[in-house]
A = this chain, B = another copy of it.
Amino acid sequence: MRIGWIGTGLMGEPMVARLVAAGHQVSVHNRTRARAEPSLALGAGWAGSIAAAARDRDVVITMLPFPADVEAAYLGPDGILANASPGTVAVDMSTSSPALARRLADFTGGSVLDAPVSGGPAGARSGALSIFVGGAADAFERVRPVFEVLGSTVVHHGPAGAGQAAKLVNQALVANLTLGICEAYAVAEAAGLDPALVHESVRVGVAGSPLLDFAWSRLSDGDLEPGFKVAHLAKDLALALDEVGDTRRLPGTSLVRELCQAVADTLGGDRGTQALITQTQPTVPSEGQR
C-alpha cells in the first residue's frame, strides 16, 4: 500500500522500518528531518510537509507526542484532512484524547481511525505491539493488513474514541505498575538486598511482567534513558483523568501523574518513567525543620 507516515520518534521509527521491510511504499514526514534519516536510509521516501505526506496515499498514519500535535496535523489548510485524497483512511496511532478522536472521525464521516499501541520500542521492532482500534468497521478492515505488520494483537474496541479509551486503561495500569516497580526497588536498596536475587524471586510471582524485567534492569544499571518518557506518561494520565471526569476517583493514577510532573520539572520530561525512582528519595529537611 501507499502509506504516508507522520512522526518518526522512538516508536514511529521502528514501525516505519517494519512497513518498509514488508514491501509497503512509505513516505515519511517529521518536524525535525534529522530524526527521519534512519527511516530514509531503509528506503522510505521523504515528504517535505504534512500535506505532501497525506496526498495520494491509501493510508496516512500519525504517531505524534501530544494531542495538540495531532490536532495540528489533521486540521487547517495544510493538514491531513484538507489534503488527503477521497478514499484515504487516516489513522492516529498516537496516544491522544478520545474526544479528539471522535471529533476527527465525525468530520470525515468515519475515515479517521484511532489506533494507539502498547509494547514500547522493543514491541515496535519485533511487530509484537498491542493495537487498540476505535472507529468505523469498514475503515478498520481496509487498514487491517497494515496493523498486522505492526502488531500481534489487534483489537477493535468500538466506535471512534474507543481505541484511545482502551489505551488509557492500559496507561493507568502501566503507571501504577511503574511506580510499584520503583518503590519495590527502593525497598530492596533500603534493606541492603542484592537486586539481581530479588528480581529472580519477584519476576516469577504474580506481579511478574515484561515491564518489571525492563525497568528493573534499567534501575540496576542506574539508567534513566527512556523506553517511555515521563512527559508522555504524565500526558496519558491527564487524558485518563479527563476521560473519567467526576464519575470515578483514581487516586493512584493521580499520584503517578503528579510524580511524573515532579520528575519532568526537576530532571526533564524526556527521562524514562523509571526515573520515578528519584521520587523515593527522602526530602531534604529545610533549615526550619532541623
Contacts and interface: CB of A to CB of B under 8 A. Distances in A.
Interface of A: 98, 118-120, 123, 130-132, 152-153, 155, 157-158, 162, 165-166, 168-170, 172-177, 179-181, 183-191, 193-194, 197-198, 200-202, 204-212, 214, 240, 243-253, 255-256, 259, 279-283
A166 to B, nearest CB: 5
A208 B210 contact: yes
A165 B184 CA distance: 10
Contacts of A246: 282
A256 B253 CA distance: 12
Contact of A179 (B174, B176, B184, B198): B176
Complex copy number for this chain: 2
Contact of A280 (B153, B168, B249): B249
B190 A166 contact: no
Contacts of A202: 118, 130, 166, 169-170, 173
Contact of A176 (B158, B176, B193): B176
A206 B204 contact: no
Contacts of A131: 201
4 nearest A-B pairs in the assembled complex, by CB-CB distance: A176-B180, A118-B205, A165-B191, A173-B184
A249 B155 CA distance: 39
A207 B283 contact: no
Chain A contact residues: over half helix, strand or loop, or mixed?
A: helix
A166 B169 CA distance: 30
Given A162-B193, A165-B191, A282 B176 contact: no
10 contacts: A98-B191, A130-B205, A165-B191, A168-B191, A172-B180, A173-B181, A176-B252, A180-B252, A251-B279, A252-B252
B255 A157 contact: no
A184 to B, nearest CB: 4
B206 A206 contact: no
A219 to B, nearest CB: 12
Given A169-B191, A172-B184, A251 B243 contact: no
